[in-house]
A and B are shown apart, each in its own frame.
Chain A
Amino acid sequence: NAGVTQTPKFQVLKTGQSMTLQCAQDMNHEYMSWYRQDPGMGLRLIHYSVGAGITDQGEVPNGYNVSRSTTEDFPLRLLSAAPSQTSVYFCASSYWPYRNNQPQHFGDGTRLSIL
C-alpha cells in the first residue's frame, strides 16, 4: 500500500512563480488536509477537505488554493510564491466522519524554498 504520496519531495522557486504540490492517497479516506511546518511553530493547518467537492480553510490559508475533484487527490496550489511560504508541507488523510478517532496518515513531506 502506498498510503499518502506527496510530490515533489524538494522544490526551489523564485518569488512570484506558481506551482502545485501534489497529494494522493489510496486508502479511500474522506478527509484530507495540508499542513505547513515551520521552526518553533509546530504544524499549522492550511486547508482541509471532508470529501470530493468540499474544501475549507484552516489556520493559515492565505496564499494557497485547494480543490478536491476526486477522493484520492488533494493538490495545494501556490499562485504567486512568496519567501514567507518557505516551509515543509505535509499532506494527511483519515476517515471522516466515522472512525475519525483513527490517526491521520501523513505523507513524507515536501520541502519548499522560495528565493
Chain B
Amino acid sequence: AQKVTQAQTEISVVEKEDVTLDCVYETRDTTYYLFWYKQPPSGELVFLIRRNSFDEQNEISGRYSWNFQKSTSSFNFTITASQVVDSAVYFCALRETGANSKLTFGKGITLSVRP
C-alpha cells in the first residue's frame, strides 16, 4: 500500500533562514506522481509542484526547490530565504497509477516563519 511520511511535524525558523521539509514515500508502482501542497492559515489547499517518477530532475521555482531521489524514496522541499508569508502547513502527497489512483497525503508539516 502506498504511504507518505513527513517525520517533521512543526518547524520554526527566523525570516531569511533556509528550511527543508522532508518527505519519504512508499509505493510498489514503478510509475507514480508526487505532489506538494501548501495550506496557508486561510485554509485552502494550494498546489505547488508535481513530479513524475521517471523524471528525477530537480526543480527550482524562485525561492522554492525540490529534490527528488528515487534511491531513497524522498521528495524534499527547500525554501530559501524564508519569509513570513511562507508560514503554512505543507503536505506531500503520492498518487499511483492504475485503477484506484488514489492520492495519499502525509500528515503535514507546520512551518512558522518569525520576523
Helix, strand, loop or mixed for chain A's interface?
A: strand
A40 touches B44 (CB 8 A): no
Helix, strand, loop or mixed for chain B's interface?
A: loop
CB of B43 within 8 Å of the partner chain: yes
Given the complex, which residues of A lie within 8 Å of B50, measured CB to CB? 101-103
A33-B105 CB under 8 A given contacts A88-B43, A90-B45, A102-B50: no
B105 touches A43 (CB 8 A): yes
Measured in the bound complex, the distance between the Cα atoms of B96 and A3 in whole Å is: 24
Which interface residue of B35, B91, B101 has the most chain A CB atoms within 10 A?
Answer: B101
Closest residue of B by beta carbon distance from A96: B101
Residues of A within 8 A of B (CB-CB), count: 27
Q: In the complex, identify which listed stretch (A15-23, A68-76, A79-87, A104-112) lies at the interface while the others stay far away.
A: A104-112
Closest residue of A by beta carbon distance from B39: A37
Given the complex, which residues of A lie within 8 Å of B45, measured CB to CB? 90, 106
B91 touches A31 (CB 8 A): no
A108 touches B43 (CB 8 A): yes
Given the complex, which residues of A lie within 8 Å of B43, measured CB to CB? 88, 108-109
B33 touches A40 (CB 8 A): no
Given the complex, which residues of A lie within 8 Å of B102, measured CB to CB? 33, 45, 48, 58
Given the complex, which residues of B lie within 8 Å of A43, measured CB to CB? 91, 105
Closest residue of B by beta carbon distance from A101: B33
Measured in the bound complex, the distance between the Cα atoms of B47 and A54 in whole Å is: 26
Measured in the bound complex, the distance between the Cα atoms of B103 and A92 in whole Å is: 10
| Contact among A40, A42, A90, A100 for B101, CB-based, below 8 A | A100
CB of B65 within 8 Å of the partner chain: no
CB of A53 within 8 Å of the partner chain: no
Given the complex, which residues of B lie within 8 Å of A45, measured CB to CB? 102-104
Looking at the assembled complex, report how far the CB atom of B108 sits from the nearest CB atom of chain A, in whole angstroms: 5
A100 touches B91 (CB 8 A): no
**Could you list 9 A-B pairs, sorted by A, with CB under 8 Å?**
A33-B103, A40-B9, A42-B6, A45-B102, A45-B103, A50-B99, A103-B50, A104-B47, A109-B43
Question: 9 closest Cβ contacts across the A-B interface?
Answer: A42-B107, A106-B45, A103-B47, A43-B105, A42-B105, A101-B33, A42-B108, A100-B101, A108-B44
